[in-house]
C-alpha cells in the first residue's frame, strides 16, 4: 500500500505516518489542513480495518490522456465546469479556468440556452429553456458551437475540453427522452470529432442506455468516453455503485465516474470504500464524488482513495453542490500527493 502521499505531508521526520502531530512541528500547517489530514487518515484506517485496501496514489493500468491532462496518474486532475448560458460566457469561464490553473474544462452543454428561446422569453435559466421539441441535430448544433468557442479559447494551452450534456434525470438541464439524448449525443460526437481541438472526451450517462454504441462512435471520432452516473438524492448501496462502475468499463468507457449525495459521514465512507475497491478492480480511471457539504472531503482527498478527477470552481457558479475553488483544491492535492 502506498502511503507516500500522507507521509510526505507530515512535517516531522520519524513520526508515525498515521498520526497528525499536534506539536510545534505542525505549526506551519493551518488548522483546516490538519483537519483534512486527520479526516483522511481516520477514514483510511477505518476502511483498512474493514478489509478494503486503500490504493494511495498508484498509477492506473489504462490512464486516459487528453492533451496535457492525464487521468489515472499519481495525482488527480482538476476540472472546472462551465455554467454559462451561451458560447461566449462559456469561453469566458474557460479562460478563468485556465488562469486559475485547472487541468481541463468541462463544457456543460446542457446549461446552454438556445438563443431564440432566450430572446423570446428573456429567460437565462438554461434548464427551463432548453427546448425539448428540438430535433437532435439542432441540439447538437447548439452544443457544437459552444465547444468550438471553448476549444478556441483554450488553444495553445494544452487544456482539453470534456463535453458533457447532463440530463434532467441526473440533475442537469437537458429534459429530453433517452432516444433524443442518444441521437443528439451521437450527432455531436461525430461533428466534434471532425473538429480537432473542440473536445477530447465526451460524457455519456450509463443509465440512458446504448453506452457501447456511443463508445464505438466516439472512438471512431477520436474521442474518449467518460461514462457517468449521478444520484442527487442519495448514495446507492455499495454493490450497486460497484456494479455501475464495472458496467461502464465493460461498455468500453475510458473513465468511469460516479457522483452521489451522502446523507452523512457513513455514506461518504461507503463511497470512498467503493472508489478504493473499484480502483483495485478496474483498469480504467475511476472518479468518485460525494456531492454537497457532507462530501467535500472527497473533492479534496478523493485521490487518496483512488479517484482520478475532481471538479472545482474558478470564479463562477459551481456545476454541482460542494465544489471548492481551484486554489483550495490544489492546496489539498499538494498536501496529500507531494
Ligand atoms: O459528473 C460531474 C461531477 C459533478 O457532478 C460534481 O459533483 O462535481 C459536476 C458535473 O459538472 C460533472 O459532470
* pLDDT tens string 276-294: 999 999 999 999 999 999 9
The pLDDT score that the predictor gives to residue 194 is 86
pLDDT of residue 26 exceeding 50: no
Q: Is the pLDDT of residue 335 over 60?
A: yes
How high is the mean pLDDT of the chain? 85
Rg value, the chain, Cα: 20
In this prediction the pTM is 0.87
Report the separation in Å between the CA atom of 172 and the middle of ligand 1, taken as the mean of its atom positions: 10
> How far is CA 202 from each of CA 126, 163, 172, 219, 265, rounded to the nearest angstrom?
20, 5, 15, 11, 31
Q: Is the CB of 181 under 6 A from ligand 1?
A: no
The arithmetic mean of pLDDT across residues 236-244, rounded, is 97
**How does DSSP classify residue 167?**
B
CB 303 within 8 A of CB 310: yes
Instruction: Establish whether residue 164 lines the binding site of ligand 1, counting it when its CB lies within 6 angstroms of any ligand atom.
Output: yes
Query: How many domains, in total, are found in the chain?
Result: 1
pLDDT at 13: 29
Distance 156 CA to ligand 1 centre (A): 25
Q: What is the mean pLDDT of residues 186-209?
A: 93
CATH code for the domain in which residue 113 is found: 3.20.20.70
Backbone angles phi, psi at 324, to 5 degrees: -115, 165
Q: 337 catalytic, yes or no?
A: no
| Full DSSP string of 130-163 | S-TTS-HHHHHHHHHHHHHHHHHHHTTTT--EEE
**259 ligand 1 Cβ < 6 A:** yes
How high is the pLDDT of residue 58? 62
- How much distance in Å is there from the Cα of 307 to the middle of ligand 1? 13
Selected residue with higher pLDDT from 2 and 257: 257
Confidence bin at 122 (pLDDT 50/70/90): low
The rounded distance, in Å, linking the Cα atoms of 301 and 332 is 7
Which range of residues forms the domain containing residue 227?
Answer: 4-337
Contacts of 135 (CB under 8 A, 6+ apart): none
| Residue range 96-119: mean pLDDT, rounded | 87
Check residue 121 and give its pLDDT: 53
Amino acid at each position: 500500500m502506498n502511503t507516500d502521499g500522507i507521509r510526505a505531508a507530515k512535517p516531522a521526520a520519524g513520526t508515525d505516518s498515521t498520526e497528525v502531530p499536534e506539536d510545534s512541528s505542525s505549526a506551519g500547517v493551518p488548522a483546516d489542513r490538519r483537519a483534512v489530514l486527520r479526516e483522511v487518515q481516520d477514514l483510511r484506517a477505518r476502511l483498512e480495518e474493514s478489509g478494503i485496501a486503500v490504493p494511495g496514489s498508484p498509477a492506473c493500468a489504462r490512464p486516459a490522456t487528453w492533451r496535457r491532462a492525464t487521468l489515472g496518474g499519481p495525482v488527480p486532475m482538476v476540472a472546472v465546469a462551465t455554467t454559462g448560458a451561451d458560447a461566449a460566457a462559456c469561453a469566458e469561464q474557460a479562460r478563468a479556468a485556465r488562469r486559475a490553473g485547472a487541468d481541463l474544462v468541462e463544457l456543460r452543454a446542457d446549461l446552454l440556452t438556445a438563443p431564440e428561446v432566450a430572446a423570446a422569453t428573456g429567460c437565462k435559466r438554461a434548464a427551463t429553456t432548453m427546448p425539448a421539441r428540438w430535433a437532435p441535430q439542432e441540439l447538437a448544433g447548439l452544443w457544437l458551437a459552444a465547444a468550438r468557442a471553448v476549444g478556441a479559447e483554450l488553444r495553445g494551452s494544452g487544456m482539453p475540453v470534456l463535453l458533457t450534456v447532463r440530463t434532467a434525470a441526473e440533475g442537469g438541464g437537458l429534459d429530453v427522452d433517452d432516444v433524443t439524448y442518444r441521437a443528439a449525443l451521437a450527432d455531436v460526437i461525430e461533428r466534434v470529432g471532425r473538429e480537432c481541438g473542440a473536445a477530447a472526451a465526451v460524457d455519456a450517462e450509463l443509465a440512458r442506455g446504448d453506452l457501447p454504441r456511443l463508445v464505438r462512435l466516439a472512438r471512431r471520432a477520436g474521442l474518449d468516453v467518460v461514462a457517468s452516473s449521478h444520484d442527487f438524492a442519495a448514495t446507492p448501496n455499495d454493490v450497486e455503485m460497484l456494479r455501475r462502475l464495472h458496467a461502464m468499463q465493460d461498455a468500453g468507457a475510458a473513465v468511469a465516474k460516479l457522483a452521489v449525495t451522502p446523507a452523512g459521514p457513513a455514506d461518504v465512507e461507503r463511497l470512498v470504500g467503493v472508489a478504493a475497491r473499484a480502483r483495485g478492480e478496474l483498469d480504467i480511471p475511476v472518479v468518485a464524488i460525494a456531492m454537497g457539504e457532507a462530501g467535500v472531503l472527497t473533492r479534496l482527498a478523493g485521490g487518496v482513495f483512488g479517484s482520478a478527477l475532481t471538479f472545482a470552481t474558478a470564479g463562477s457558479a459551481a456545476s454541482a453542490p460542494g465544489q471548492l475553488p481551484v486554489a483550495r483544491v490544489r492546496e489539498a492535492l499538494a498536501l496529500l500527493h507531494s
